[in-house]
């Protein structure tokens, strides 16, 4: 299990986006606490961060298909 989850700033994960103290959705935070990992959403309005998040998704999908 990864120790860090980096979601995009979608409403399902982030209630209030902020660079330093984002407010994470309660259900998403409970999921992270259950799996003992941290949630660090991509910064708002920073497309460079989004590419890193989407690349990780492609890697996981590729591993799941094998």
Q: Rounded distance, CA 40 to CA 53, Å?
A: 11
pLDDT tens digit sequence for 45-60 = 665 666 666 677 777 7
DSSP letters for 35-47: TT-EE-PPPTT-H
Domains of the chain by residue range: 4-65
Which DSSP category does 52 fall into? H
pLDDT along the chain (66 residues), means of 10: 78 81 88 90 68 70 74
Q: Rounded distance, CA 6 to CA 50, Å?
A: 9
Residues in the chain: 66
pTM of the model: 0.58
Per-residue pLDDT, 40: 84
Helix (H, G, I), strand (E, B) or coil at 19: coil
């Amino acid at each position: 299990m990864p120790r860090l989850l980096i979601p995009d700033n979608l409403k399902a994960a982030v209630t209030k986006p902020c660079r330093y103290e984002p407010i994470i959705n309660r259900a998403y935070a409970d999921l992270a606490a259950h799996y003992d990992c941290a949630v660090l959403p991509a910064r708002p309005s920073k497309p460079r961060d989004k590419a890193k998040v989407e690349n990780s998704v492609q890697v996981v999908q590729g591993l799941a298909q094998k």
